[in-house]
Structures are given as C-alpha cells and as structure tokens.
C-alpha cells in the first residue's frame, strides 16, 4: 500500500489539521515507511508464539485491599446543597 499526496490532503481535511503543501511529500514518505515496517512485521510467522502481557515478564505488585480512610459521608452531605436518602441531588442539565 502506498500513500499519495491526495491521500495526505484528504486525511488532513478529515482530521481538521492544516498541513503545509511543502510538507506533504515528506509526510507521505514517512507514512509509507511506517506501512512498510508494518507489512514486514505482519509477514513474520507467529503461529507457535504465545501472546505476552509484558515483554519483560514483569509482575504487577498489588497492594492489600484495605480501607485506609474513615467514612465521612455524613460530614460531606451536611454541607451539600441538596441530599435525599443518602444521595446527592443535582440539577437536571440535559433535557
């Protein structure tokens, strides 16, 4: 697949970005280079390769699931403009 000048102009128009006409050939070359790299990556046989979540085999350290703050709902609702049955009431903004 090759990107032409007209493709760059159309993409820029759809994305609502201004592209200087003198930069269009360079942008087309760079996008074509990226597409060539993607093509070469897609040509690699990965049938026997197991997917990885992390290329470094790193493990996510998880914290203990503990409550670290006290319940202050009553104090917060005491200063709220409108509360009903433990819920905050807000004005309707969408019809």
Q: Tell me, what's the pLDDT at 35?
A: 93
Backbone dihedral angles phi then psi of residue 80, each to the nearest 5 degrees: -75, 145
Q: Tell me, what's the pLDDT at 60?
A: 80
Per-residue pLDDT of the chain (95 residues; tens, 9 = 90+): 688 888 999 999 999 999 999 999 999 999 999 999 999 999 999 999 888 877 887 788 899 999 999 999 999 999 999 999 999 999 999 87
With residue 9 as reference, give the H or E element that holds it.
helix 5-15
Taking the C-alpha atoms of residue 38 and residue 2, their distance in angstroms, rounded to an integer, is 12
Q: Tell me, what's the pLDDT at 74?
A: 93
Taking the C-alpha atoms of residue 4 and residue 22, their distance in angstroms, rounded to an integer, is 14
Token pair in block for residue 12 = 């820029």
CA dist list (Å): 41 to 25, 46, 94? 24, 10, 48
Domain ranges of the chain: 5-42
Q: How many CB atoms lie within 10 A of CB 24?
A: 17
Q: Tell me, what's the pLDDT at 71?
A: 94
Taking the C-alpha atoms of residue 44 and residue 60, their distance in angstroms, rounded to an integer, is 29
């Amino acid at each position: 697949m090759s990107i032409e000048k007209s493709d760059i102009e159309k993409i820029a128009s759809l994305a609502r970005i201004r592209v200087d006409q003198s930069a269009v050939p360079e942008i087309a070359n760079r996008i074509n280079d990226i597409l060539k790299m993607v093509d070469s990556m897609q040509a690699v046989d990965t049938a026997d390769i197991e997917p990885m979540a992390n290329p470094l085999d790193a493990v996510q350290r998880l914290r203990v699931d503990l409550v670290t703050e006290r319940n202050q709902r009553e104090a917060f609702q005491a200063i709220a403009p409108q509360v009903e049955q433990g819920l905050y009431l807000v004005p309707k903004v969408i019809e």
